[in-house]
Amino acid sequence: VGYCAHIVLIISHIIQLPLRFPIEYYGTSLIKIYDNNLQSNDFPLYPSYDINSFQYGLFLLNRNIGQIMHHCRVGGRHTDYRKTLENLKELMEQYFINSNNNP
């Protein structure tokens, strides 16, 4: 999950898109994602004593990936945003690799 969060951060910086749910990245062992709409708003992106917080953090990471995919016009209505790695792969292939091959 740490590397996925790092890739999401890098892509958001490259395309200059602020993430809806900000990510704090201090290496792969300490990553947090924030939902500013909630009173307790920081969720770890690493398994800890509270598995529910981790699962909600993963949900927010997938929402950020969906935001980037929508911004880059990758995917469609039937995209399953729970598939973290598959969606990152599709985003990188469609937006960064295939768009550079088209003259």
Give the Å distances, CA to CA, from 24 to 17, 57, 102. 16, 12, 35
User: 56-70, pLDDT tens digit by residue?
Assistant: 889 999 999 999 999
User: 34-86, pLDDT tens digit by residue?
Assistant: 777 776 777 888 777 788 888 888 999 999 999 999 999 888 888 898 999 99
Give the Å distances, CA to CA, from 4 to 77, 86, 97. 23, 11, 18
Q: Report CA dihedral (19, 16, 28, 1) to the nearest 10 degrees.
A: 50
Task: Give the DSSP letter of residue 37.
Answer: T
Q: How many domains does the chain have?
A: 1
| Cα(20)–Cα(83) distance, integer angstroms | 19
- Domain of residue 90: give its range: 2-101
* Banded model confidence at residue 14, pLDDT cuts 50, 70, 90: very high
CATH number at residue 39: 1.10.418.40
Task: Give the DSSP letter of residue 33.
Answer: E
pTM of the model: 0.84
